[in-house]
Amino acid sequence: LFALVVGAQFIENRAYKKVVVVGTDVMTRITDYTDRNTCVLFGDAAGAVLLEPTEDTSVGILDHILYTDGSGGKVLYMKGGGSLNPPTHETVDKGMHFLYQDGKAVFKVAVIGMAEVSAEIMGRNGLTGEDVDWLVPHQANLRIIDACAERMGLDKSKVMVNIERYGNTTAATIPMCLSEWWHSGKLRKGQTIVLASFGAGFTWGSILIKWDADNMDKN
């Protein structure tokens, strides 16, 4: 979501005419397969969206809300790497280059943060659950997704979910959902959608979009 907002701002300030925003992660490279608490959760994937300018201010990205809170840094991160713990024989031997997650701590914050920021963007734009065609949530945990939909007053039929097929593909989850639903013809021009995500840092946010890409059956 942060990259999507930055890409849109590049177009709005006329720095670029087109921007491709790519979400991709190869989680298998940093997954400890002896840690059954995390290794069963993640998948590898990539997804992308193309942003283009429009003179119609009633379509495209209409609003966004982004939050960061560094106090959650130590419950979802990789202990090794970067300038703090550069890769060495010792850091590798200690398994410091694998993802570390305190699942319960992350869940407690994520289930509230993702739901509240989605409801916040709806309230700020005078929308109810009836006005939203699709919730496109980060595919981290089905209970978090369900809580988000409930807080928004959305029926489950309006929620894009593919976690049961791919697991949590992190940065790729939202663009993959958009691609799958667009290719299937379910995501159509003129529909109102809310993107919502929560991730390491902590970082979380929501984006309100009036979908303006041509329907799949026109391409």
pTM of the model: 0.93
Q: For the segment 188-211, what is each residue's pLDDT rounded down to a tens digit?
A: 999 999 999 999 989 999 999 999
Q: pLDDT tens for residues 38-73?
A: 889 999 999 999 999 999 999 999 999 999 999 999
203, 4 Cβ separation under 8 angstroms: no
